[in-house]
Amino acid sequence: MSRIRAAITGVGGYVPDYILTNQELEKMVDTSDEWITTRTGIKERRILKGEGLGTSFMVSKAVKELLDKTRTRPEEIDLIIVATITPDMPFPATANLVADEVGAVNAFSYDLAAACSGFLYALTTGAKFIEAGTYKKVIVAGGDKMSSIINYKDRTTCVIFGDGAGAVLLEPNYEDLGLIDSILRSDGSGAVYLNMKAGGSRIPASHASVDANLHYVFQDGQPVFKFAVTKMAEVAAEIAERNHLSGEDIDWLVPHQANKRIIDATAARIGLNSDKVMMNIERYGNTTAGTLPLLLWDYEGQLKKGDNLIFAAFGGGFTWGASYLRWAYDGIHFTRKTNF
Active centre residues (catalytic): 116, 256, 286
Closest separation between CB of residue 113 and ligand UT7, Å? 14
Subset of residues 89 to 128 that bind ligand UT7, contact rule: CB under 6 A:
116
Closest separation between CB of residue 272 and ligand UT7, Å? 19
- The burial class, CB within 10 Å (0-12 / 13-18 / 19+), for 255 is buried
Closest separation between CB of residue 317 and ligand UT7, Å? 9
Query: Among residues 122 and 170, whose Cβ is nearest to ligand UT7?
Result: 122
- Give me the half-sphere count of Cα atoms (radius 13 Å) on the Cβ side of residue 276: 19
Per CB under 6 A, the list member of 4, 35, 308, 334 interacting with ligand UT7 is 35
- Which backbone phi and psi does 314 adopt, to 5 degrees? -150, 140
Examine residue 185 and tell whether it contacts ligand UT7 (CB under 6 A).
Answer: no
- Which backbone phi and psi does 115 adopt, to 5 degrees? 50, -130
Query: Among residues 35 and 334, whose Cβ is nearest to ligand UT7?
Result: 35
Examine residue 152 and tell whether it contacts ligand UT7 (CB under 6 A).
Answer: no
Examine residue 136 and tell whether it contacts ligand UT7 (CB under 6 A).
Answer: no
Beta-strand pair 79-83/108-112? parallel
Looking at 48-56, 164-172, 218-226, 324-332, which segment touches ligand UT7 (CB under 6 A)?
218-226
Examine residue 319 and tell whether it contacts ligand UT7 (CB under 6 A).
Answer: no
Per CB under 6 A, the list member of 2, 189, 201, 222 interacting with ligand UT7 is 222
Closest separation between CB of residue 219 and ligand UT7, Å? 6
274-303 footprint of ligand UT7 as x/- string (CB under 6 A): ------------x-----------------
Count of residues interacting with ligand UT7 (CB under 6 A): 20
Closest separation between CB of residue 226 and ligand UT7, Å? 8
Subset of residues 233 to 272 that bind ligand UT7, contact rule: CB under 6 A:
258-259, 262
DSSP 56: H
User: Across-strand partners of 6?
Assistant: 172
Query: Among residues 320 and 324, whose Cβ is nearest to ligand UT7?
Result: 320
Looking at 33-41, 121-129, 197-205, 243-251, which segment touches ligand UT7 (CB under 6 A)?
33-41
Closest separation between CB of residue 106 and ligand UT7, Å? 35
Which candidate, 121, 70, 119, places its Cα nearest to that of 286?
A: 119
Whole-angstrom distance, CA of residue 328 vs CA of residue 335? 12
Interface residues with ligand UT7 (CB under 6 A) are 31, 35-36, 39-40, 116, 155-156, 159, 221-222, 224-225, 228, 258-259, 262, 286, 314-315
